[in-house]
Amino acid sequence: MSSAREPIASVKLAAEMVIGGRGVAALSGETFPTLNPATGRTLAQIPKGDGADVDAAVKAARKAFDEGPWPRMKPAERKGLLLRYAVLVEEHSQELAQLEALEAGKPISDCRAIDLPETVNILRWHAEAADKIYDQLSPSGSAVVSMIVREPIGVVGAVLPWNYPLMVAALKVGPCLASGNTMVLKPAEQTSLSTIRLCELAAEAGLPEGVVNVVTGFGETVGKAIGLHGQIDCVGFTGSTDVGRLFLKYSAQSNLKRILLECGGKSPMIVMDDAEDLAAVAAHATFAAFCNMGENCTANARLLVHRNIKDALLAQIVDKTDQWIVGDPLDEATRVGALIERDHMGKVLGHIHDALNAGAQLVRGGRQVREDSGGYFVEPTIFDRVSPAIRLSREEVFGPVLGITTFDSLEEVITLANDTDYGLQASVFTGSRKTAHYIARAVRAGTVAVNCYSEGDIATPFGGYKISGFVGREKSLAAHDQYCELKTIWNDMS
């Protein structure tokens, strides 16, 4: 069995930024450490980029867009290169999965079975869409030929999160590149290695120099420089609402670049008293709360369950939670890996402490575990009797913590579900199709899953209401639209 304490020999841990198709150090020569959250030890030194490095990357991306072949290729030609890219990522999926597990603390089994196959699927799907999206003619009369055409928006900055580094990168890279844009990516400082490798593979696949660039560093320097840069036409950001608000400010302070935000959630799972197969509901509930250590923007951390079945469902959930083994991320048996960093673990434990003080009943878990590893592990935690007024009900914990609140009526649960500033995802379990439809329409969330926990698939738009999002939608053809401009070409033929 591999140990998370030592790097895996087949994985490249040396890191350079990628600008203009070449690996480079930061112009300042500075670096910072990236840590293995399962041990607290340094994995590699990452270039510490700043505004000067962003300028260099934008210059390369701008040249590739303004002068290079990429936006001028036939869509079918771009498709061919992007499909080659997807094949190359698939061929390196074991390496990339190991990088994700080492740097993000994610269970290697999840990286291999979920993250990497989905990353490849996203790239392939958007590549195939490149030559299947049509422009339009308007019904403006026989004396006019009025064309409505889609054009790539230009240089796109993508600011990525640490919870799903490769999948979220693919969600932005796929539609951006398929539409003919060029890009500057900024990975989260905690998870740079897999994004760097993803960009290296783009060059190996034959994408022209400057089409995909990556600048590593911190949000207050690299992220801010991307947000304020006058030669970047659009920024796609996935992360916290507080940082998302900053990008709206940066846009207003610079060139009014388009800003696309996906900013997390506090997603409810609603279980009616006519829900069928409580064992299956419990399996969905534990997956929705504990998958990826709860570091998931759509985590169903609020379980709203009808009072009549709460005790029966809770017993099933406690039983299912025993299957969520906390351990070394490189152990195939592990289902709950390490939280991303010590400060974040402290935040999660703080939420648990506050919930106890607020009168919630601790049913299971609640502790840091595996302390002798040096890593940041918190066991799956379940609270019952959670008031909708306390922090645990209202703030995004981003850890393996499930809070249970009971209700007595349909009207009450809809009020509870919508009593949040967020609106990203919701799940509803009921044996009545009428009730399911009513709740799905009444809950204000970008995705509502019925009798399952799901975010949809690559063909369905993903994004949120309220402070969960701003303008943007990941996945589907809607993702292509947001990285394009619409142009009217009016030909008077009279």
| Domain of residue 66, CATH code | 3.40.605.10
Q: What is the pLDDT of residue 1?
A: 35
Q: Is 38 part of a structural domain of the chain? A: yes
Look at residues 328, 318, 308, 310 and name the one whose alpha carbon lies nearest to residue 286.
318
Place of tokens 């609640």: 366
Given the residues 100, 103, 189, 262, select the one marked as catalytic. 262
User: What whole-number distance in Å separates Cα of residue 424 and Cα of residue 448?
Assistant: 9
Same domain, 132 and 36: yes
Q: What is the pLDDT of residue 348?
A: 98
Task: Inform me whether the pLDDT recorded for 453 exceeds 60.
Answer: yes
Distances in whole angstroms, Cα of residue 111 to Cα of each of 26, 30, 291, 359: 29, 31, 12, 37
Q: What is the pLDDT of residue 5?
A: 42
Same domain, 86 and 131: yes
What are the tens digits of pLDDT across the range 189-242?
999 999 999 999 999 999 999 999 999 999 999 999 999 999 999 999 999 999
**In the 8-state DSSP scheme, what is residue 222?**
I
Same domain, 23 and 103: yes
Radius of gyration of the chain (CA): 23
**In the 8-state DSSP scheme, what is residue 112?**
I
- The whole-chain average pLDDT of the chain stands at 96
Same domain, 132 and 259: yes
Same domain, 304 and 396: yes
Same domain, 196 and 313: no
Going by C-beta distance under 8 Å and a sequence separation of 6 or more, which residues neighbour residue 476?
A: 458, 459, 460, 461, 462
What are the tens digits of pLDDT across the range 457-469?
999 999 999 999 9
Q: Helix, strand, coil: what percent of the chain each, to 5?
A: 40, 20, 35
Same domain, 171 and 295: no
Q: Report, as an integer, the average pLDDT of 8-22.
A: 82
For residues 487 and 11, the model is more confident at 487
What are the tens digits of pLDDT across the range 91-100?
999 999 999 9
Q: Is 89 part of a structural domain of the chain? A: yes
For residues 217 and 10, the model is more confident at 217
Q: Is 340 part of a structural domain of the chain? A: yes
Same domain, 299 and 437: yes
Task: Inform me whether the pLDDT recorded for 6 exceeds 50.
Answer: no
Same domain, 87 and 124: yes
What are the tens digits of pLDDT across the range 112-149?
999 999 999 999 999 999 999 999 999 999 999 999 99
Task: Inform me whether the pLDDT recorded for 408 exceeds 80.
Answer: yes
Task: Inform me whether the pLDDT recorded for 8 exceeds 60.
Answer: no
What are the tens digits of pLDDT across the range 329-372?
999 999 999 999 999 999 999 999 999 999 999 999 999 999 99
> Tokens at residue 218, please?
């911190």
Q: Report, as an integer, the average pLDDT of 262-287.
A: 97
Is 379 considered catalytic here? Answer: no
Task: Inform me whether the pLDDT recorded for 78 exceeds 80.
Answer: yes
Banded model confidence at residue 4, pLDDT cuts 50, 70, 90:
very low
Q: Is 2 part of a structural domain of the chain? A: no
What are the tens digits of pLDDT across the range 148-177?
999 999 999 999 999 999 999 999 999 999
Banded model confidence at residue 10, pLDDT cuts 50, 70, 90:
low
DSSP string, 140-153: --TTEEEEEEEEE-
Q: Report, as an integer, the average pLDDT of 364-390.
A: 98
pTM across the whole model:
0.95
Is 262 considered catalytic here? Answer: yes
Q: Report, as an integer, the average pLDDT of 247-272.
A: 97
For residues 10 and 117, the model is more confident at 117
Q: Report, as an integer, the average pLDDT of 35-64.
A: 98
In which domain, by residue range, is 148 found? 17-263+468-489
CB burial string 177-216: b at 16+ within 10 A, e below = bbbbbbbbbbbbbbbbbbbbbbbbbbbebebbbbbbbbbb
CB burial string 8-21: b at 16+ within 10 A, e below = beebeeebbbbbbb
Same domain, 276 and 256: no
Given the residues 297, 379, 396, 474, select the one marked as catalytic. 297
CATH number at residue 438: 3.40.309.10
